[in-house]
Amino acid sequence: MTGTGAGSGLRLEGVSVAFDGTTVLDGVDLTVAPGEVVVLLGPSGCGKTTLLRTVAGLQAPNAGRVSWDGLDLVTVPTHERDIGLMFQEHVLFPHLDVAGNVAFGLRMAGVPESQRLERVDRVLELVGLSGSGDRAVGTLSGGEAQRVALARSLAPGPRLLLLDEPLGALDRALRDHLVAELGVLLRRLGQSAVHVTHDHDEAFALADRIAVMAGGRIARIGTPAEVWADPRTEGVARSVGHRNLVDLDADGHCALGRLGDGPGTVLVRGDRVGLDAEGVPAVVRSVAFRSGRGEACFELDGLELWVPVGQAPDPGATVGVVLEEDAVVPLAAD
């Protein structure tokens, strides 16, 4: 089973949506190649879910075009678009067992029973629930229920899978585990997918490309490495998890020295900051540990700088910080 074929995949051109005169999507252009996983990242209200609903056919655009392999989908009903949907509220049918839930879409499509049984067994194996077809959904854990919902979305072999915060209700550890599994599974299947999240760690773990949304537009799109290294705007920098946004004075100075040619805001990449006794003196204000790795907050004349460190210095200590050549990234205002 594969979710994609040859062709150009999904294309959105100038897609706009407005509700009661309020613009929610504003001329969005986006492509998703066959087999590609694109993650839409951004805060609540930025248009992520509306974009997903427009692709699915649940929301008609006020302007623009949605197509697959060049075929206009705007007038194609949702059930004829060959698109799988998975949401945070997965809504498994309580009166059906696991196999019955997974087979639901196949049965509605008129797939013969023998083929349904074979397909159900295969997707349950893919999501790590082999042999669970006769279980009642009420006996499933949160993670297992999400796997069943994913299997149900994958069973018809959609050419495109849309996932709207599918893991948002799970605890952090389980969420991280399932994100890693989901990425492996989508790539094994060659499955085109658009995944919506507001969690930057989830986006970086899953995406081939990340599209950061703000105000109904795509503010930045690129590979995870490209978006991290050069977010371009203050809003995108915050959305992807950067914390060292530094304001410069009229001459481009701050506590770290001269970092620009004039006033504005720059990003100081924490992963490009080093410790050296000859560097700019800074006081260690706090140290936090994430996944066994230290992150220290340094203070320099009122400026806070967050830096990942292998061996964290003690709070209260004074250290020297130095900036590597590519540590400073100019940012445009939002």
Contacts of 141 (CB under 8 A, 6+ apart): none
Which of 44-53, 78-87, 253-262, 309-318 comes out lowest in average pLDDT?
309-318
Contacts of 22 (CB under 8 A, 6+ apart): none
Cα gap 224→206, rounded to integer Å: 9
Instruction: Spell out the domain ranges in the chain.
Output: 10-238, 250-331
User: So what's the pLDDT on residue 5?
Assistant: 42
Task: Give percent above pLDDT 90 in the chain.
Answer: 75
218 burial (CB, 10 Å; 0-12 / 13-18 / 19+) is: buried
pLDDT tens across 221-263, in order?
999 999 999 999 999 999 999 999 999 999 999 999 999 999 9
pLDDT at 293 over 80: no
pTM: 0.90
Residue 133's CB is within 10 A of a number of other CB atoms, namely 19
Question: For the domain 10-238, what is the CATH superfamily, name and number?
Answer: P-loop containing nucleotide triphosphate hydrolases (3.40.50.300)
Q: Between 168 and 281, name the one with better pLDDT.
A: 281
Which of 24-33, 162-171, 188-197, 231-240 comes out lowest in average pLDDT?
162-171
The residue-averaged pLDDT of 259-269 equals: 96
Any idea which fold 250-331 has? Answer: OB fold (Dihydrolipoamide Acetyltransferase, E2P) (2.40.50)
Phi, psi dihedrals of residue 197, rounded to the nearest 5°: -155, 160
Tokens standing for 46? Answer: 């930025």
pLDDT at 1 over 50: no
The residue-averaged pLDDT of 47-74 equals: 95
